[in-house]
Amino acid sequence: MVTALVYGWYGRGNAGDELMKQALVSMFKPRGFELSFVDRIDVPQLLDYSKPGDQVIDAVIFGGGSILYGAPDVTPAALQLMLSDKVPVFYLGVGGETQVHPVHQQLLKVARVVAYRERDIPDLVFSLPTPDLEIDHQSDGLLVIPNVETVPSWEDAHWKHVAWEHYKNEFSQAIDQLVDNGLNVSYLLMCSNPQMEDAWATSELIARMKRRPKVRPVYVGMGMGIVSTMRRHKAVVTQRYHGIILAEAAGVPYVSIDHHDKLKNATPSRGVHVPYYGATKASLISSIESALKMTLEPHRVPRQVYDDLVDTIVDVVARKQ
């Protein structure tokens, strides 16, 4: 059995990251890899006490997701062990749309394989089987996926407060008008942990409406079951990157509200994109109405694309042993 640490934003109730975890397990487990998902790396985690001489584990994988901009939680001693090439390092499915922290810059220089999402490999979630594609789109209207990352706390910069207040006002007016025109609107929560809860953003958006509904359907999404939820709607409005990926996989038209380059540059990008900063009632209504008229075939990526890359990593680890 080969042992590998996988460093990323796992175990924090984020649907996109947990789907990437599921994808990595499905790729590596059949090849004899035992994966340990961590959010901190210290020397004891890099040593396999079950092997003679406290041998280092067989690999460290960083990814997937947008983790390069921040400093990884890696102790100095563990960093030196990885930089010494005693344990092979890999980057798989990481986003390259931001600046790279100096620690990651050091590790990228010694990494045996570096595969950026969209640049080198499609998002890892596309490797997972997609359920319920035989179900025709239903008439449940619009599914909205908010993102708590756009909601400021009191200590955030003033521009972030201004942007969120503007967006709430414009979005609520747009939804009010669409509801008046007979559109049903539901919400999907894709992140839930003590510090990042999409329900907070959802509550603010609904509370800002003039015609506040007594009951508003709210779904909690984890796993590929999100695809089934999307398929029951005519269109999706998403503020989350993996809302785009899952809508593409489901074949459901969507509007992406781009607050970050990873949404603007998502691949494929067959939906309608609206800049978060400066969005207006008119642009939101127009974009949503356009999406409601669209049709979208489910996007598929050949499994071989992922298998070839994983086999390369397996070969590197095998030669190192």
Question: Does residue 298 have a pLDDT over 80?
Answer: yes
CA distance 250 to 66: 23
Instruction: Kindly state whether residue 134 falls inside one of the protein's structural domains.
Output: no
Q: Are residues 271 and 151 in the same domain?
A: yes
**Phi, psi for residue 297 in degrees, rounded to 5:** -80, 140
Q: What is the CATH number of the domain that holds 308?
A: 3.40.50
Same domain, yes or no: 65 and 187: no
pLDDT per position as a tens digit, 168-183:
999 999 999 999 999 9
74 assigned to some structural domain:
yes
Nearest to 161 by CA among 55, 255, 265, 277: 277
User: Do 258 and 224 share a structural domain?
Assistant: yes
Residues 148 and 284 placed together within one structural domain of the fold: yes
What is the domain range of residue 216? 142-293
Contact 21, 128 (CB under 8 A): no
| Residue pLDDT, tens place only, 31-90 | 999 999 999 999 998 986 666 556 678 999 999 889 999 999 999 999 999 999 888 999
Parallel/antiparallel/unpaired status of strands 55-56 and 47-48: antiparallel
Give the total number of structural domains in the chain: 2
Whole-number Å distance between alpha carbons of 43 and 36: 15
**Structural domain contains residue 15:** yes
Domain shared by 176 and 233, yes or no:
yes
Task: Supply the pLDDT for residue 138.
Answer: 57
Instruction: Give the whole-angstrom CA distance, residue 256 versus residue 243.
Output: 8
Kindly state whether residues 82 and 188 are assigned to the same domain.
no
Task: Take residue 32 and report the two structure tokens written for it.
Answer: 């004899």
Same domain, 278 and 146: yes
Predicted pLDDT of residue 187: 95
Q: Is residue 137 part of a domain?
A: no
> Strand 113-116 to strand 142-145: parallel, antiparallel, or no bridges (unpaired)?
unpaired
Predicted TM-score (pTM) of this structure: 0.93
In-domain check, residue 136: no
Q: Are residues 308 and 215 part of one domain?
A: no
pLDDT of 121-166, one tens digit each? 999 999 999 876 565 555 679 999 999 999 999 999 999 999 999 9
155 and 212, same domain (yes or no): yes
CA distance 150 to 265: 18
